Amino acid sequence: MTFSSDLFTGRTIVVTGGTSGIGAASVQRFAELGARVVSCGLGASKAPAGPRIENHEVDVLVPGALEAFFASVETIDVLVNCTGVSRDRGEWAKAVFDEVMAINLTSVMDCCRLARPRMQAGSAMVNIASMYSTFGAADRPAYAASKGAIVQLTKSLALEYAQAGIRVNAVAPGWIVTPLSRALFADEAACGPILRRIPAGRWGAAEEIADAIVFLSSEAARYVTGACLPVDGGYLTS
């Protein structure tokens, strides 16, 4: 997708979970568009690097880690929350369920709360939901529950922050090739039925989610808030 190369020049973008997958693709995209990008997550030493990218090693489950990270950023023009995990059937165990909810939902609320004082009118937040926001999943109950909750959290934040001129939206990716899904993508027996249901005829790329995030963060979406944009090749329509 083509955007002006100076679209975010002079702006500071914070991407949590920006060290891999959709987060890393978003970091690279914003940097290509002129932004200063401050990224945090696990495996920061292996994250995308560049003259406009700052990577910080942050574990959202460590008490005080997010507070320390946000304290290092004076002004935020766009916050993108990409932190997320899936533990598959292990999520039926209480400890695992609680951990997934803490990472996928509670940490997102924490990031929005911590970023808010650093944002002004015209700023934007984008959260990552999922196609599982729409339907359940027997093999990942915490993931599905957390992503459904992200949609409602996004709407609540949009209502609360609208008076300050801050927009809050979400993107709901479908089947995207990322480190989390690569094994499933490579399994022809499991991937076949999925592929047949996608009208676009293919899995998506992390960069395609990043482009949707860029749109929602830009002035082109200045009248869009409280929305959840599916980016799934039409999967939910079939």
Amino acid sitting at position 137:
A
137 φ/ψ angles, rounded to the nearest 5 degrees: -150, 115
Tokens of 196: 């047949």
Question: Beta strand pairing status for 228-231 and 176-177?
Answer: unpaired
8 Å CB contact between 197 and 230: no
Tokens of 133: 């926001």
Contact partners, residue 55, CB within 8 Å, separation at least 6: 18, 19, 39, 40, 41, 44, 45, 47, 48, 49
* CA distance linking residue 202 with residue 185, whole number of Å: 10
Token look-up 């799934």 returns 232
**Active-site residue set:** 143
95 φ/ψ angles, rounded to the nearest 5 degrees: -60, -40
Question: H-helix or E-strand containing 212?
Answer: helix 206-217
- ∠ CA 100-103-104, nearest 5°, is 80
Tokens of 30: 């914003």
